[in-house]
Structure 1
């Protein structure tokens, strides 16, 4: 029997407590006992203090101060030097959960190393902890939402798969200890408008709730075993999402079996009183939150919990119950008390912003960028005679970062990445050309003529965190971080028109941003179009790798690019009809899952391996992929299900599986897919799921099936079956 020594100072005494790691009592049970002992030693004031994000130390119990608020959306955020990976919307575009799991592991490894150093210098400040309020698995249901860049896209299955992989990487694989604690946010039914989030009441149908808004969170809980969930600002069916019996008690804990802690978004408990007017005071708002399952507040309303106790709005036992998951999280992290058995205590500083992590960031950036058009201009010959790069974002490190970013000691801009590739004999030049968000003040323009004279011009257009993002960060936004439309600033488009009008050279347009852009005209007048997102510190080198053919494109759109927002439902309408590939049959410029490569991959011979499928066992599917080119390619094969009633009572198509398949030049490969029975069930109007009787079609495709995909020549192979 193995014994672990953990020092537990109580009542001024330093007691060595032996924890049985193997035997009749599990380590989990021993730690639960320890958590209850710690809570029993606290005064009411101390208990309340530990339920707020900036928790003070309790010296007499040997508990150090701890601030629960840390960020790790795509790298350790807001806390000094760290590797900056692509923004999550770009990670969604990789369709690569294995890579995202590596990224999660890299982030938490750097975070743990930084935490170990911070503790030695008594840095207990905000962002210096190990409880990372990431990932964001809200559904990017409307392209006008400025924070959609933080998500993995519009599809619940893709978001849940990528999100669960991130959580597994972040938290590590020890049976008890956590390298870091991940947090799924914002639970739930939260995706803009930003200006209304503190007062908005979302009333989705039960079908939309359980089909669209909740599945990714469920996957984080049941597949990723996420340690924390963050409640959203808004109401859902009249209850604050951060104090909702339905969401926090009935669904999250009772139905899904969640055992971790729930934290409010910052100020969300205050919103119960001042924004939603559900409560008449901070004390009542705090009591509502605690009794309905909230454990930790980011904000200041929980100071009123003492008043709530005095008014009999809740009991001290309610505080004890709320504290239990919080103490367990800190014990799992090995930070409530010194714990020599925690396997993450000695991660060296050398992992922070390391070459190994930079290599992962570069691979992720390569796999995230999406080639939308290529009229025989890419890849560019490295021995090209003359080349021009233009646009303010081409030499701007800020457009690599996205939001909720950390800071790196190494950034590669798009200009650097391109210049790094060309021959020493190539004449290559750069000018700003135009301002990012406003028209040029000086009407004299030397850049345009020079750019039009080059053999190939790469023009970088798009958005940045200045005009899309969270309400207080997007300082150039007229809609508090959201967008009124998806068009680029008019002066950017006017520059592109002048650049391409009556011009014989080739123009490659690189688009930056975290959300869909109106690309209809851009695609018409450009020879090639690349969606680069916010690709992280290695984005420039990754773009160079792709433009010059050292790496093949493989990224796919994790969200539909519509023709216009005019064809979409109102931004504040949370019904899914007319939204995402599941319910859109028109108004599509580029479909979900779409992306070109330098190769031509054919899909054929889709077939079911089940003799006669009855819907009770996994569906075994097989398809043949053939690479018709002389280039190696990673093909993202996607499996879509069309069920009885498609487009009427159920989605037109539903993504149920996907794989990145490496294909050698001029070769074929048979690819197998296993679809679990639950993925075949369709959500009904009352929110329950049901396996329907009738005819089904399974399509293995390189993008979401539909008329627009047919027009674009998207490859697919189909097979039908009946239940």
Structure 2
């Protein structure tokens, strides 16, 4: 073996610990060089041989935005597999493709921004497709598996460095950079923090990305929780990367700080280590950082702290040890194994919601496959470019033979007639019809959208018949006969130039607006109307054309014909991931769009043997009563169609399970901005209504029997076991689920709460003995009176079964815990946000740096209740810390008002608190009730003897 001379710089010595190497390199960098590292695109330091580095490579369900890559099911589909080991393998494959792509293109980054672990609290969230589940336990299990796959299993060097998104309590797109999520302490600890915490503690996370929103009145990018919680969970140096544009939002949209220098300094001190702002141009952010240093808002030590975290990640990625990095030569890209894994994941993600025996289909079945997604393989904003694809139609052709499959898309066929009597005409464009092919022959929609080299639409006497699809919410797309979507480029002309709707600003969506005896056609991307001029059809601010809609065929007519000629109809319905629900846009309803409802009714009327296959990024409300079978899958990536066909044919028994509650009606939903899952009874944990389909629900082609539940508590662990037996005649997977319920809880606790689960494959007649070791802490709750987690002594019901509502086995165990203690209000007072119950209250920031206060959420009074407050032998006075103006009324046990406290004049700012005192005589243990009126902030309540 050839001996290598020792490196001249300690930071290049692989024999030294990373921490010492980081410190050495940090000490060699100038302040300007270190400051330059704080932008997303950190430049090279040539004098030290340090390469340029970028944070951020999207890899949510495959490598995104960098061209062709293996496309796996959407994240919510991976959550529906309930299979952490499968998801770990997906993460492993994705990280290998990241490395292989980087070897050919240094724009591909190794700091990957995924997974998204925001909980799917509200099904109208536009980014529902990006999360795993509404349950923190399941979310953390799947997220941990994915990050382990992304990290790789080498003990020293990471294949990629995953960053979790989006910290914290981020579940709305509507006004997302200005809305504040009011998160009470129990919800914070038991729900929102929990999914992040368990994943970080597992040790495969490189960092997090703060979300755009505010939490309790304070932007996430200056959150004290980064220090108080996130970094307390691990000894690793975690890298916190800002979301795109969020640093500027602190001033521009949130108006939280007066200057960008103040905002940037506050973010860095709070824990943001890399600023994603102004794209590849780092000059603006670096200028702000230097301005903050010059004004004394930052010190060089603050910069060092952030740079140290970034360098720690870079060392773990093997950047400074290329000869030792085991991942540096990875070339596994679009391999047969990755293709097979994409299909396996798509198959495992399919959820059979209902089956009256029509499935699986017999081999000689004549199938009609109909619907707007029947011949689609949809991508989303965080997809890579497809190398391979399969649609439901293609999958059924492959499985049953083209001669046994009928197809009807179900679109309305229309022509648009102008006021002059001509019709819109789509010019022939051979090259565009064939599409633009990128590397590996993949069709790249981004190369089509926005093109100006194709001829614009014109008018002529006969016109072109267009496919009109109404996606609901008065949003429609128009498509030429050759499959090209009408789109608008920067020059304003309409062209048939898009393979699919897509892009950050979708330019392929329109709205028909009644006008006189016709319609105006509004282009939603620009907000302008379509007009017809001498140089072509375009959008403009004036002279809109009034069109007559001439219908050649309704979609339901074609669907009815195909359905009547088949033994079984498969209606494939759902969403386009770029329309009516995506990043920047929340949904407005759970209802299936009316166009698709019509198609479903037409199919059902023509053939009662109608199967509904929903392919969507989120739950829908459908009426399954007259449907013999219903399935759901998220958009399943490149193998979606093959997977669906194999499940329909019975080659694979479905075993996906719902990762979130499917509600029966919009009326069951809380407000989109109501983050109090406990108080407003949200998710399966607290929902008291009857869901359409419950959390954890999913059927198989075989029945399963459960038995032999045993449980015993031993020190810090509860040991639980039970058996599951396949009592059917086909091999199938079952997802056995273990829940708990506190029987006589002293505070509101979940109706049931997932403790663990196991996905097992069982042959006919086979039995699996499943054992679970549940930490005693998993039975605890966050006690606001003691400001910590506590396991309450008493009875707990263990529930084993096939879903949160399909419970097969029950057993009660008694756990020793810590008894409740009354609040020691004489010693500690009452932190205002530490309430037990509230009505009409919003939590806000006590200061811009830390702490919480409370205020009425609207013009009406807000109510607060603090249970079991111990006044000992007696108190004689109360003091409140308030800011703003208004009144605080205090009573005990719901009795008469004992004190009214109000500042003599409004305080100068919402952060200028003043103490107010009054006489109150009380002894013993009481519930304290407070009523707040007016724009008043209450930070703390104290009592004196």
The 3-state SS of whatever aligns with 1:272 is helix
1:119-178: CA deviations, max 9, x gaps? Answer: xxxx4x3xx111110000001100100101101010000000110111111101222211
For the pair shown, the structure with the greater C-alpha radius of gyration is 2
The 3-state SS of whatever aligns with 1:606 is strand
Matched, 1:698 2:811: no
CA gap of 1:504–1:490, structure 2 versus 1, over 3 A, is: closer
1:92 corresponds in structure 2 to 79
The 3-state SS of whatever aligns with 1:461 is strand
1:449 corresponds in structure 2 to 561
Q: How does 1:269-668 map to 2 (within 5 A)?
A: 269-300=247-278, 302-303=285-286, 304-335=288-319, 337=320, 339-348=322-331, 351-384=332-365, 386-398=366-378, 401-423=379-401, 426-434=403-411, 435=469, 437=471, 441-444=551-554, 445-471=557-583, 480-501=584-605, 503-519=606-622, 521=623, 523-576=624-677, 577-608=680-711, 610=712, 613=713, 616-645=715-744, 649-668=748-767
The counterpart of 1:204, out of the listed 172, 176, 183, is: 183
Deviation at 1:258, TM superposition (A): 4.9
Deviates more, 1:290-299 or 1:426-435: 426-435
Q: How far apart in 2 are the matches of 1:177 and 1:392? A: 46
1:58-97: CA deviations, max 9, x gaps? Answer: 2222222222121000011111221111111011111100
The counterpart of 2:56, out of the listed 69, 74, 86, is: 69
Q: How does 1:83-122 map to 2 (within 5 A)?
A: 83-118=70-105
Flag the structure with more relative contact order, 1 or 2, with Cα contacts below 8 A and sequence separation at least 6. 1
Deviation at 1:423, TM superposition (A): 4.8
CA gap of 1:504–1:327, structure 2 versus 1, over 3 A, is: closer
Bigger proportion of residues as strand: 2
Alpha carbons 1:5, 1:16 under 8 Å: kept = no
Alpha carbons 2:56, 2:111 under 8 Å: kept = yes
Matched, 1:689 2:789: yes
Alpha carbons 2:568, 2:607 under 8 Å: kept = no
Count residues in correspondence.
671
1:708 corresponds in structure 2 to none
The 3-state SS of whatever aligns with 1:405 is coil
1:657-685: CA deviations, max 9, x gaps? Answer: 10012211023332212111221212233
Alpha carbons 1:638, 1:658 under 8 Å: kept = yes
Q: How far apart in 2 are the matches of 1:498 and 1:504? A: 9
Matched, 1:19 2:10: no
Alpha carbons 2:380, 2:578 under 8 Å: kept = no
CA gap of 1:7–1:200, structure 2 versus 1, over 3 A, is: farther
Alpha carbons 1:454, 1:505 under 8 Å: kept = no
Alpha carbons 1:48, 1:302 under 8 Å: kept = no
Structure 1 residue runs without a partner (length 5+): 21-26, 472-479, 706-713
Q: How far apart in 2 are the matches of 1:83 and 1:413? A: 16
2:120 corresponds in structure 1 to 140
Bigger proportion of residues as helix: 1
CA gap of 1:113–1:282, structure 2 versus 1, over 3 A, is: same
TM-score by length of 1: 0.89
The counterpart of 1:55, out of the listed 26, 30, 42, is: 42
Q: How far apart in 2 are the matches of 1:169 and 1:310? A: 43
1:709 corresponds in structure 2 to none
2:809 corresponds in structure 1 to 717
Deviation at 1:331, TM superposition (A): 1.2
Q: How far apart in 2 are the matches of 1:240 and 1:554? A: 40
CA gap of 1:5–1:635, structure 2 versus 1, over 3 A, is: farther
1:579-615: CA deviations, max 9, x gaps? Answer: 110001214110000001111111122111x3xx36x
The 3-state SS of whatever aligns with 1:496 is helix
Alpha carbons 1:80, 1:406 under 8 Å: kept = yes
Q: How far apart in 2 are the matches of 1:89 and 1:318? A: 38
Alpha carbons 1:583, 1:647 under 8 Å: kept = no
Deviation at 1:443, TM superposition (A): 4.0
Superposed structure 1 runs of 4+ greater than 6 Å apart: 1-8
Q: How far apart in 2 are the matches of 1:6 and 1:139? A: 49
CA gap of 1:16–1:704, structure 2 versus 1, over 3 A, is: closer
Q: How far apart in 1 are the matches of 2:237 and 2:6? A: 23
1:455-492: CA deviations, max 9, x gaps? Answer: 11111111121225544xxxxxxxx4210111111111
The 3-state SS of whatever aligns with 1:134 is strand
Q: How far apart in 2 are the matches of 1:233 and 1:443? A: 45
CA gap of 1:418–1:650, structure 2 versus 1, over 3 A, is: same
1:229-254: CA deviations, max 9, x gaps? Answer: 11111122232211212x11111113
Deviation at 1:436, TM superposition (A): 5.5
2:442 corresponds in structure 1 to none
Q: Alpha carbon RMSD of aligned pairs, Å?
A: 2.2
Q: How far apart in 2 are the matches of 1:627 and 1:223? A: 33
Deviates more, 1:231-240 or 1:640-649: 640-649
Matched, 1:219 2:198: yes
The 3-state SS of whatever aligns with 1:689 is strand
Q: How far apart in 1 are the matches of 2:595 and 2:581? A: 21
The 3-state SS of whatever aligns with 2:241 is strand
Q: How does 1:115-264 map to 2 (within 5 A)?
A: 115-118=102-105, 123=106, 125=107, 128-192=108-172, 194-245=173-224, 247-264=225-242
Q: How far apart in 1 are the matches of 2:560 and 2:152? A: 52
The 3-state SS of whatever aligns with 2:769 is strand
Q: How far apart in 1 are the matches of 2:682 and 2:397? A: 41
Q: How far apart in 2 are the matches of 1:647 and 1:429? A: 60
Structure 2 residue runs without a partner (length 5+): 279-283, 412-468, 479-550, 816-945
